[in-house]
Each structure stands twice: as structure tokens, then as C-alpha cells.
Structure 1
Amino acid sequence: MVLAVAWEPARGTDGDGESPTLQEVYASLDIPGHRVELLEGRIVVSPAPIRLHNRIVTWLTLALAELAGDRSWDLLARGVVELPATDERVEPDLLVSRVDESSDGEWTIPAAQVRLAVEVVSPFSRRDDYEVKTPSFARSGIPLYLMIDPREALVTLLSAPSPKGYLRAESVPFGGKVELPEPFAIVLDTATMPGLPRDV
């Protein structure tokens, strides 16, 4: 279940007559076991994912681990990405970013550092993953956005970001192969991914 909470500044103050901003409320939230995102002026709180979701993220992490190590990229299962084009904060299920040790003490990752963002789509995150994050990622210049949808048994790769959205999209059914373009230049064989009929 996803709890979407829209906070309205006019409903409260911080003690000095000034209402805290939505970004300040978002930054103050610490809900163990939940993911908190700022999307379309909403604070979206999602509970811990199901086991299959975690297995898919682990599978992809292992598939990308050697390449990320060779390229000295960060491969992060948790990380909050700042999207400058929309002033949103998102926490993809997995992301690949360039290493910037000067920002190791910070909790947000600039979109400019992200090479690939990944979402494993749940029934309750479908609209945000497909309709909200897609244009936000593209407008903020994230080069590749990979959506893995167990319900539809479909993997979709979006690339070539532009102010109008991603210009290229490729979808393959579970069991097919997805080619990640440069700077990855690898093929993901989803035949080995959890979630195929034999696993569910």
C-alpha cells in the first residue's frame, strides 16, 4: 500500500508565524521501513517492498556489479535523487551514479550524477513510476530509466532524455534481452530474472 499525503502549508505554522515549506516537511520525515518521496507537490510514503521486488533488485545489482566496479560507479539500492527540473525528490529502487567522494556526507544525489535509475513497478506505484517520474527524470537529464513491471511481465528502457520527455523507448517481455547503451554497452538477459512464471 502507498500512503500519499498532500501537505498544505496554510494548515500549520512552525511557531514563528511562518508555515514550513513542503520541502522542509519532507526533509523532516524519518519513517523507518518506508520510502519517502516528494512528487507533484505530494509527500508519498511507501512501505517496505515485497520479497519478489527485493529479489529483482538483487538480481539487477549482481548483473551490474562487475561493470560498476570496472567503471568506478556507485551502485546504490537506496539514494535520494534531486530532480532540478521539477524540484522533486525521488528514491529509485536502484541507481547507478558516478562517484563523488566530496558528497559522501550528503543524503541527496544530484540528477547530473545519475547514469541509470531503476524502478520495480508495484500495483500502487504504477502511476508515479510510469507517468510522474518519466517526464521528471527526462527533464532533469537522467540518461536511462529502466522500469521492471512484474504485473505486466514487461521491462521498459527509456533513453535520450529531452525537455519534452524521453525520445526512445524499448519494451521487452520477461525472458527477453534489454540492451543498455553507452556508457553501459551491455545486454541484460531477463531470462535469469526472478518473476518469470516458474518463480511465481
Structure 2
Amino acid sequence: MTIAEGWVELVQDAIHVPKTARLRLTRNGLTLVPVTQAHVTTARRIANQIEAGLPGWMATGEFSVVPPREGYKPEPDASALPLEQIRPGKSEIDESLLPFVVEVVSPESKHRDYSTKPDHYALRGIPAYLIVDVLAATWTLLTQPENGAYQCTQSGPFGKEIEIPVADRTLTLDSSQFMRI
């Protein structure tokens, strides 16, 4: 960890941020990001569907993916782990444990969710990356990471089912349950 990376973590820990916002490290520095009701509701509905669709697994959110790469630890909105891998006292999850990650698009995060994060998640070898765009009422599923890029892309409007490969199963999400801005 460089001095700058350590400093950013200290600042993030020291700043009080209201629950209606998130503090994010972007290429432009630290950014205070408002959290919309559509974002919160959609992330919650995804978590509920994960737990209903993957018995023996738990939905996770509000965590950092480690190890840091290029000083960056992404914080996806949702994922899932088998119950035996859940560490209640931890707020970080090793990238090798994640079968998929979900990002719910906010006005501020749109560019990163579509342009920067796919590269970060593919380089980490995370098998699937789902982008849920509450602004456009669409979803995009990226799978098969290879050489730092996802090789397969599927997309559709809210209302269509999304099938995400998870270990030896398929998680089916009902995107008609997602909320649009």
C-alpha cells in the first residue's frame, strides 16, 4: 500500500457521511455520491432475490473487494457468498470468492459502472458482472472474463429475467422488480 492509498483510507474512515450518500474514491479524487431511492430499493430487491434463489447462500452488500489493485477497492452494490464463507466481522471480501457482482447505476456513477468497473472486475477474474441501470430501465450482464475483459454480453429491458451462472447453479433475477428513476 502506498502512502496515498493509506491516506485515502484514513480520510474515508474519518469523514462522517450521512446515510443518504456514499464517499467514493474515483479518478477525480474523493466524491460524495447521493443515493437515490431507486438505487436503494433495487439493491434491496436484488438481495432478496439472491437469498430466495440461492438457498444456502447470503446476499452481501456494503463491502470492499480486496486486494486493492492500482490503489482501488471497488464496492459493488450486491453479490453473494455461501453461508460458510460469510465473515460477520469483516467488511472486505477477497475477489477470488465472488461468483458475481452487481452495480446499480446512479447518475454520478454511470460512466464508471459501464466503462471502468468492467475492466476492474474482469482483471480480478470475477465470473459475472451485472449492471442494473435504473436511469434507462435496462440491465447488462457481462460474463467470461479473459485477459482483463469480459467476452460475453447480454442485455435487456426491465421486465426480462436475468440468468447469472453461480458455481453449479443459475441465479434467476426478475428485473420487473427493479425500480426506475
Same fold (TM > 0.5): yes
Q: Deviations over 1:46-103 (max 9, x none)?
A: 33411111111111111111234x23x33122101125554421111112234435x5
Aligned residue for 1:167? 151
1:98-134 per-position Cα deviation (integer Å, ceiling 9, x unaligned)? 4435x54443211111122111111211111111111
**Other structure's SS at 1:185 match:** strand
Asked if structure 2 preserves the Cα contact closer than 8 Å seen for 1:83 and 1:137, the reply is no
Counterpart amino acid of 2:95?
A
The match for 1:27 is 9
Q: Is 2:136 the counterpart of 1:152?
A: yes
Q: Distance in 1 between matches of 2:73 and 2:166?
A: 26
- Structure 1: segments with no counterpart, 5+ residues: 1-19
Given the two structures, how large is their TM-score scaled by the length of structure 1? 0.75
Question: Partner amino acid for 1:90?
Answer: P
Matches within 5 A, 1:1-200: 21-28=3-10, 29-30=12-13, 31=15, 32-33=17-18, 34-40=21-27, 43-68=29-54, 70-71=55-56, 73-83=57-67, 85-98=69-82, 99-100=84-85, 104-183=88-167, 184-195=169-180
The code of the aligned residue for 2:41 comes to R
Question: Distance between the aligned counterparts of 2:72 and 2:81, measured in 1?
Answer: 18
Measured in 1, the distance between the counterparts of 2:64 and 2:175 equals: 26
- Give the structure-2-normalised TM-score: 0.83
> What's the secondary structure of 1:61's corresponding residue?
helix
User: Secondary structure of the equivalent of 1:90?
Assistant: coil
Q: Let me know the Cα RMSD of the aligned residues.
A: 2.3
Conserved 8 A contact 1:35-1:91: no
Q: Say which SS state the counterpart of residue 169 (structure 1) adopts.
A: strand
Structure 2: gaps (5+ residues): none
CA contact (8 A) 1:81 1:91 kept: yes
Q: Tell me which residue corresponds to 1:11.
A: none
